[in-house]
Amino acid sequence: MAGVVGCVVLGAATGGPTLAESGRREAIYVGSFGDKRGADTLRQDLVEVLKHTPGLAVVDSADKADAVVEGAGEVWVKGYYTLNPRQRMVSSEVRRVYAGYLSIELKDKHNATLWSYQATPKPEGGEDVPRWMATQAVKKLLVALDNMPPAPPERGAH
């Protein structure tokens, strides 16, 4: 197992087909993202993006999963933007600018961290910040999974 973790940390490419091309299907369970503001939305968006990703299957328990994604995240209003310099109150003409973060870890069945990533929103921080961060995290997760060698068979399994 130490060899697998070492390859992932160093990002060694296997040179083989991608997860989607290989026909391999990884079962992923998405755990809790904590209880901060926006964490539930970040988790839901990550699950939705994962469900629509070829080569991945979202499962409903960690026992059924090949790997578990856990993390923390938060989204908050950073400020307001308007084109009207006289606008002093928040109204329909004012657009909210969001900030936040999404930090996730991919863990194996033995709770060892295989990979981690932190996403932050684009500077303009529009309404779609949770979905945008979830999409960025899944893109990076797919690259990491493509670079990981297949898991060795469990001991005692034939």
| CATH code at position 75 | 3.30.160.150
- Mark 109-139 as b/e (b = at least 16 C-beta within 10 Å): eeeeebbebebebeeebeeebbbbbbbbbbe
CA end-to-end span of the chain: 18
Residue 133 lies in a domain: yes
Q: What is the pLDDT of residue 1?
A: 38
Q: What is the pLDDT of residue 34?
A: 92
Q: What is the pLDDT of residue 157?
A: 53
**Tokens at 125, concatenated:** 């921080």
Residue 17 lies in a domain: no
pTM: 0.76
Residue 152 lies in a domain: no
Distance CA 140, CA 105 (A): 11
Distance CA 61, CA 32 (A): 12
Residue 115 lies in a domain: yes
The count of domains in the chain is 1
Residue 158 lies in a domain: no
Cβ–Cβ under 8 Å, residues 83 and 94: no
Residue 19 lies in a domain: no
Residue 156 lies in a domain: no
Q: What is the pLDDT of residue 20?
A: 52
Q: Average pLDDT by consecutive 10-residue portion of the chain (158 residues)?
A: 36 50 78 93 96 93 94 91 73 83 94 95 84 95 86 58
Residue 67 lies in a domain: yes
At CA 11, angle to CA 6 and CA 14, rounded to 5? 95
Q: For residue 130, give its domain range.
A: 2-9+26-81+90-146
- Let me know if 73 is exposed, middle or buried by CB neighbors in 10 A (0-12, 13-18, 19+): buried
